[in-house]
Structure 1
Amino acid sequence: MKSTILAEDKDILVCYKPPGIAVQSARLGEPDMVSELKNYLGGKNPYLGVVHRLDQPVSGNLVFAKTPAAAATLSRQASHETGQESGKKKKPAAFMEKEYCALVFTGDAENLPEPGLSVKLEDYLLRDGRKNTSAVVPSGTKDAKRAELVYEVKEKKEKQALVKIRLLTGRHHQIRVQFAHAGLPLLGDARYGTEKSREYSAGKGITNICLCACRLSFYHPATGRRMDFQTEEIPWIS
């Protein structure tokens, strides 16, 4: 099995997803996390609820539900996330928190924050379902959704920087789009990267998106106990 099981009981299954495998694929015969984990669980079509997703090239921690009741509880936590979306005055009692690590290209950045300084990005994103892309658009654009995240530069080296990201909303390709718009495209991102970032990635031998869901925190759907999972399995950090 390509994934790594981090925790499991009768309600949940937490695992590390390696880069390159889809969470759930509609293509016949293409391997995905759901099929792999159902084979692991055994039995006749065991229940496995998808609570949240990661893009196929992205690695990191995921939680799946093993019962419909657990799926409903965890999905509510995931939809609230940190409870800090626009229009929310109070943080909900239970929420799911997601932190990411990424390598970004700094060659085109005009004002890269100093390490340790927390920076918030706020944009409106519009998804193009036909092209499977999202883009930053002006506020008030029809069907656009507010996107918020907070990041901190951990280390700078040459024309790249290691950043830690905390999502405040969960939008399609949010991290990749917002960082590209801010002049800090992710290394290895062919879709949203610039010509310079793609050239730099190629020169470094980077062929996959340098983005990892390195920390996942949520409340157990049955016990209410806060659970926290951090991974050191970051493919592009030796």
Structure 2
Amino acid sequence: MKTETPTVKIVAISDEESGQRIDNFLRTQLKGVPKSMIYRILRKGEVRVNKKRIKPEYKLVEGDEVRIPPVRVAEREEDAVSPHLQKVAALTDAILYEDDHILILNKPSGTAVHGGSGLSFGVIEGLRALRPEARFLELVHRLDRDTSGVLLVAKKRSALRSLHEQLRDKGMQKDYLALVRGQWQSHVKVVQAPLLKNILKSGERMVKVSSEGKPSETRFKVEERFGFATLVRCSPVTGRTHQIRVHTLHAGHPIAFDDRYGDREFDNQLNGSGLGRLFLHAAALRFTHPATGETIRIEAPLDGELRQCLSYLRKTSRG
């Protein structure tokens, strides 16, 4: 079997990944590579952050661009993908748009965007298995594992740079749909609450509103009302970890089936709706195409489970 030649990877550091040492980050990115080799490529300057040499103790900052050189990964990584062949096949059906520069998916809920944190498989690994000839495939942004919807992938380094610039300059608009507890008040159109990230002893990330946190803003619009719940459109202006989930909770309206920030009583009220997952869906994404300059707006349809839940709520609300 022909082995794919490794290529240089450029990885943009998200808010979620900031704060960790570069050597620990590389261990999650280069599975199967011995620690000694990771320290060797750091020492030789083959790993660069923002095009500069760094030391193993360097702590990553959101927005950093990390150059990871080609490293031969142990063959067992290929074996790790094989149990997920069904998921890889499902990704083909999830592609919403593709050209020479970008690929856009409707990510299924329950699939991580990339391996790491104990996971051997994610969307990006699946895409690389699906497109072995692609020399470059990198995530432009991230979605939580349980969040479904629009996910943008760059197929060229120039496209990645352009799209990251749009993210930094807030030139990209993301719209999510969330089912929240109670009646969202129409006059609450913006939540501005600073968010502070905590990593628990278990390694789990928890985020809370705190004056010590980073400035964060989400815009909200009521889409549909039901007896004990509201479907809201959420448009994050900043891109913090768990931002929408914590901002809705802060406003007094946690999201349905949120295992970290939710409300069990609200979830119990949805018994019979067929819902068993977080009701948060990246519904639309608007950005400037990195090559043509035209405005692209992509919508991702809700999956069957979310549609079934809304159908149930419409019937019970009428009843």
Give the TM-score taking structure 2 as reference length: 0.63
More strand, by proportion: 1
Q: 1:52 aligns with which of 131, 135, 141?
A: 141
Greater radius of gyration (CA) = 2
1:74 maps to which of 144, 163, 187: 163
CA RMSD of aligned residues (A): 1.9
Which structure is higher in helix share?
Answer: 2
Aligned match of 2:150 in 55, 61, 64? 61
- Aligned residue among 165, 185, 200 for 1:113: 185
Q: Distance in 1 between matches of 2:97 and 2:124?
A: 16
Q: Matches of 1:167 and 1:192 in 2, distance apart?
A: 18
User: Counterparts of 1:199 and 1:64 in 2: how far apart (Å)?
Assistant: 36
Match of 1:159 among 223, 228, 242: 228
Percent identity of paired positions between Structure 1 and Structure 2: 32
Q: Tell whether the 8 Å contact from 1:149 to 1:166 is kept in structure 2 after alignment.
A: yes
Deviation at 1:47, TM superposition (A): 1.4
Instruction: Provide the C-alpha distance between the structure 2 equivalents of 1:129 and 1:2, rounded to a whole number of angstroms.
Output: 32
Structure 2 counterpart SS, 1:151: strand
- Cα offset for 1:5? 1.1
Instruction: Count residues in correspondence.
Output: 214
Segments of structure 1 that go 5 or more residues without pairing to the other structure are 82-94
Match of 1:2 among 87, 90, 102: 90
Q: 1:169-211: per-residue Cα shift (whole Å, max 9, x none)? A: 1110000001011110000102101242243345644321000
1:181 matched residue in structure 2: 250
| Aligned-partner Cα distance in 1 for 2:120–2:307 | 28
Question: Which stretches of structure 1, 4 residues or longer, exceed 3 Å deviation after superposition?
Answer: 27-30, 201-205
Q: Distance in 2 between matches of 1:121 and 1:209?
A: 21
Whole-angstrom CA distance in 1 between matches of 2:123 and 2:136: 13
Structure 2 gap segments, 5+ residues each: 1-88, 309-319
Q: Distance in 2 between matches of 1:201 and 1:178?
A: 22
Question: What residue number does 1:85 align with?
Answer: none
Shift in alpha-carbon separation, 1:28–1:132, aligned structure 2, 3 A: closer
TM-score normalised according to structure 1 size:
0.83
C-alpha displacement of 1:28 = 6.5
